[in-house]
Amino acid sequence: MDKQAIILTGLSYTGKTVVGKAIAQLLGWPFQDTDDLCVSIADGKSIPDIFAEWGEDRFRAIEKQALSMACSRARVVVSTGGGAVLDPANRVLMQGAGVVFWLDAKPSTIYQRMLHDQEQAENPVVRPLMHGEGALERIASLKEARLAHYSAAADWVVPTDTLDQSEVVSEVLRMYGRLKGRLGTPSGGVPSLGEEPGSLEPTPHGQALPQTTTGAVAVVSTNSGSYPVFVGNKTLNTLPAKLKTLGLTGAVYLVADSNVARHYGERTEGLLRQAGFSVETYVFPAGEASKTLNTAIGLYDWLMARRAERRHTLVALGGGVVGDLTGFVAATYLRGMPFVQVPTTLLAMVDASIGGKTGVNRSVAKNLVGSFYQPRMVLMDVELLRTLGDRERNEGWAEVIKHAFIRDTALLKSMEDNRDALQALEPRITAQVVAASAAIKADVVSQDERESGVRAILNFGHTIGHGLEAAGDYDALLHGEGVAIGMVGAARISNRMGLLSSDEAGRIEVDIASFGLPVKAPNLDLDRVRAAMKLDKKVENSTNRWILLPKLGETVIRADVPQAMVDDILQELVR
């Protein structure tokens, strides 16, 4: 059995059930509580009654059966009974089925939570081994007796004493991503979106993915934070519920540019208000020219006037400019506020919204002032893409097809087979392809948050592409168009360096053109292109480091590309 479950263990009152339900809701996975299964197996008899009438040994046998049932599914969140770890066979079962988290707490914390439950709950749960006289001493004794068993079973310990529910959820997701790896499948092709939350369908490679219209397609897991990525059609409607699941229940400050606000601002405000949120919207002029410190200062002042607090949430509703600017303000205002990405362009969905890069431009360079600051969630609704113009839509496909070139030939084949439907933004296939692309980006970012290693492969086509953009004064070409031409150039270099076959290099060019993207940039000044390429961030010791392809789906970094070869290819691209 693949280790694909999230299994929570620990003493009672450490939050296993509430945390497990929250994680399951976020991921669109089923939730199994072994205590509930025990009651079901015992024909409705409560756990205290099982203990009283049948004894602890009988209960442990029932619990073992319940645990086996709960762990029989590949992608499930399981909350186990506090004593399930006592049986070595149970520990083996849990460790084989998933990543095991021990939610820990001090005996005094558990005791206080138990008292609070008794005072506040209508029908407080009775824990046979904890309640009654000397409860605190029994809790301490119980923990001491089970300590070695929890330690033996767990892959990771989460001390819950000073954490709220959302913080425990975040820590479990963060470490699940690191211990298990991605939830998406960068080499698994295009996932199938289930019709109902929690439904799973196999990918072309046979691995089930957590793909639903409301389920997470990936979890980005970095040292500075972890967050789910959602993709679907009409998923904007789920924004309020997902914010609440993340524990983001305070005031919401919506940030949008003038174009997006006109199309989706009022609708998004209405959804949030209807769900009980206090919401206000900050709108700035659309376009790259607004991505400045002056705009950020305007947003700072606007937030100050509204007495924004650190527990309040910024929601970036828009493309890359909106996301970068909002993230930068979130990272710096009050030394950090939670923010959520709701990208409305295809390019932002598969690129800018995932990875935590935030920043503003200065007159001498783009993104010169910024930081890495991860959002709490990325929510993508492909329905919002319908207001894009053709060029803006197509430049997004450049990034999607780039992900296919560098990581996933099954995704590439699906894009080729469904080109017309994708260009028409048919909801189901568009959501599937965007989900697969987003999962690739999420996986790479999870491995390399700060772009010091594998994340460099995402720059395939960017060395030439950025040079072309700069030579055109960032006006002649959109970013995705520059990258598209840059990928043609990188494919030709790969071919002439003896890495990539002529057939595959030709396939790359045909695929790019078939999505309405340019493969040449005539009339650009070649000297300006060369000069801009020397300023590329991947330059080391005055030499460009090239992301090249030995074959489709694989990358290699080379610094030995002859300048004469580069010059020849640049001339081919700009003449």
Q: Confidence class of residue 198 from pLDDT cuts 50, 70 and 90?
A: very low
Q: Residue 25 pLDDT more than 60? A: yes
Question: Is 441 tagged catalytic?
Answer: yes
Which of 428, 455, 520, 528 is catalytic? The answer is 455
How far is the C-alpha of 507 from the C-alpha of 416, rounded, in Å? 10
Region for 3 from its dihedrals, namely left if φ exceeds 0, alpha if ψ lies in -120 to 50, beta otherwise: beta
Query: pLDDT tens digits, residue range 496-555?
Result: 999 999 999 999 999 999 999 999 998 899 999 998 888 765 666 667 889 999 999 999
Residues 6+ apart with CB under 8 A from 98: 3, 4, 5, 6, 7, 71, 76, 78, 180
Question: Is 462 tagged catalytic?
Answer: yes
Q: Residue 237 pLDDT more than 80? A: yes
Q: Residue 122 pLDDT more than 80? A: no
User: Token pair of 147, please?
Assistant: 């300590």
Considering only CA atoms, give the Rg of the chain: 26
Amino acid identity, residue 36? D
Query: Could you write out the three-class secondary structure of 523-570?
Result: CCCHHHHHHHHHCCCCCECCECCEEEEEECCEEEEECCCCHHHHHHHH
pLDDT given for residue 544 in this prediction: 84
The larger pLDDT score, comparing residue 111 to residue 549, is at 549
How far is the C-alpha of 192 from the C-alpha of 201, rounded, in Å? 6
The larger pLDDT score, comparing residue 177 to residue 127, is at 177
pLDDT given for residue 197 in this prediction: 31
Question: Is 335 tagged catalytic?
Answer: yes
pLDDT given for residue 176 in this prediction: 85
Query: pLDDT tens digits, residue range 300-321?
Result: 999 999 999 999 999 999 999 9
Q: Residue 199 pLDDT more than 50? A: no
Question: Is 479 tagged catalytic?
Answer: yes
Q: To which H or E segment does residue 250 belong?
A: none
Nearest to 484, CA basis, from 419, 401, 408 = 401
Domains (range + CATH), the chain? 5-180 (3.40.50.300), 216-388 (3.40.50.1970), 460-574 (1.20.1090.10)
State what percent of residues in the chain have pLDDT above 70: 89
pLDDT given for residue 132 in this prediction: 56
How far is the C-alpha of 236 from the C-alpha of 254, rounded, in Å? 13
Nearest to 81, CA basis, from 140, 24, 42, 39 = 39
How far is the C-alpha of 115 from the C-alpha of 574, rounded, in Å? 74
Q: Is the distance from CB of 355 to CB of 404 less than 8 angstroms?
A: no
Question: Is 106 tagged catalytic?
Answer: no
How far is the C-alpha of 545 from the C-alpha of 28, rounded, in Å? 41
∠ at Cα 360 (570, 290), nearest 5°? 95
What value does the mean pLDDT take over residues 265-292? 97
Q: To which H or E segment does residue 442 belong?
A: helix 427-447
Q: Residue 234 pLDDT more than 70? A: yes
Q: Edge-to-edge strands of the sheet including 216-222?
A: 216-222, 225-232, 377-381, 339-343, 313-318, 252-257, 279-284
Q: Confidence class of residue 274 from pLDDT cuts 50, 70 and 90?
A: very high
What value does the mean pLDDT take over residues 196-219? 40
Which of 146, 174, 180, 479 is catalytic? The answer is 479
Which of 451, 496, 507, 520 is catalytic? The answer is 451
For the chain, the average pLDDT equals: 88
Max mean pLDDT among 40-54, 212-226, 382-396 falls in: 382-396
State the CB neighbour count (10 A cutoff) for residue 527.
Answer: 9
State the CB neighbour count (10 A cutoff) for residue 62.
Answer: 21
State what percent of residues in the chain have pLDDT above 90: 63
Q: Confidence class of residue 173 from pLDDT cuts 50, 70 and 90?
A: confident
Q: Is the distance from CB of 380 to CB of 193 less than 8 angstroms?
A: no
How far is the C-alpha of 132 from the C-alpha of 144, rounded, in Å? 19
Nearest to 247, CA basis, from 194, 330, 313 = 313
Query: pLDDT tens digits, residue range 377-408?
Result: 999 999 999 999 999 999 999 999 999 999 99
Query: pLDDT tens digits, residue range 424-457?
Result: 999 999 999 999 999 999 989 988 888 778 889 9
Question: Is 451 tagged catalytic?
Answer: yes
pLDDT given for residue 192 in this prediction: 45
Nearest to 108, CA basis, from 161, 67, 43, 146 = 161
Q: Is the distance from CB of 236 to CB of 379 less than 8 angstroms?
A: yes
User: Token pair of 278, please?
Assistant: 């206090």
Which of 122, 133, 335, 523 is catalytic? The answer is 335
Question: Is 399 tagged catalytic?
Answer: yes
How far is the C-alpha of 229 from the C-alpha of 39, rounded, in Å? 35
Q: Is the distance from CB of 158 to CB of 105 less than 8 angstroms?
A: no
Q: Confidence class of residue 245 from pLDDT cuts 50, 70 and 90?
A: confident
- Rounded to 5 degrees, φ, ψ at 254 are -85, 130
Which of 383, 399, 449, 469 is catalytic? The answer is 399
Q: Residue 188 pLDDT more than 60? A: no
Q: Can you give the length of the chain in residues?
A: 575
- Rounded to 5 degrees, φ, ψ at 237 are -60, -20
Least confident of 46-55, 196-205, 270-279: 196-205
